[in-house]
Amino acid sequence: MRVKNYKVCCGMFMKTFEEKWTAWLDDELTGDERAAFEATLEDRAAAEAEKNQARKLGALLKEQLQPRAMGNEEFFHHQLRERIARESAAEAPAPNDTPVLRETWWSIRRLLWLGASSLAVFAVCTFFVLRQASVQDQSQYLTQILNSRVDPNVSPDATVSSFQTKEDRVTVLWVDGLKSLPSEYAAK
């Protein structure tokens, strides 16, 4: 049944002369296929002679090349078992591998921790630096105090202070210690 099915399958796929010839030689063609192929042969007698020769060749090979007996089969088996065991052992992870892996893993972890700590310190420093900078930036008063004394002959205890706000472009003068302030009086 298998051969019969195969013959159908074989006929479907045969394309070249070589394939058809081989199938014809091995009697693998169905009746219709064989008839169709034989009709294409120019010299039927020569083809039959060659088929006969191919069969003689096959018989000769079969007779002369019968599989050589394996000597020492048990030793072959033993050697194979040993080899499989050896190669399986070589492929399995060695016990010493584990500490090496741990060591490697520990180093990686330590590196990760070191990196994370460095990042944290950097972040904290950056935060404070930026905060300080922003305090300065956020301060609306860049105060410049001008301690200058007014004319000591007139008011020996008088002082004048100046407060400036750059953004608002405002300057406040604070005068203290004057008993009276003459209209022409001005801070120096």
Binding-site ranges for another protein (CB under 8 A): 2-3, 6, 9-10, 13-16, 18-19, 21-23, 25-26, 28, 50, 53-54, 56-62, 64-71, 73, 76-77, 79-81, 83-85, 87
Q: How far is the CB of 28 from another protein (least distance, A)?
A: 7
Q: How far is the CB of 27 from another protein (least distance, A)?
A: 12
On whether the CB atoms of residues 140 and 167 are closer than 8 A, the answer is yes
Comparing CB distances to another protein, the nearer of 62 and 169 is 62
147 burial type by CB count under 10 A (0-12 exposed, 13-18 middle, 19+ buried): exposed
Q: How far is the CB of 38 from another protein (least distance, A)?
A: 17
Q: How far is the CB of 74 from another protein (least distance, A)?
A: 10
Comparing CB distances to another protein, the nearer of 28 and 162 is 28
Comparing CB distances to another protein, the nearer of 72 and 138 is 72
The residue whose two tokens read 């000597």 is 71
Q: How far is the CB of 107 from another protein (least distance, A)?
A: 34
* CA distance linking residue 83 with residue 6, whole number of Å: 40
Comparing CB distances to another protein, the nearer of 55 and 109 is 55
Comparing CB distances to another protein, the nearer of 61 and 172 is 61
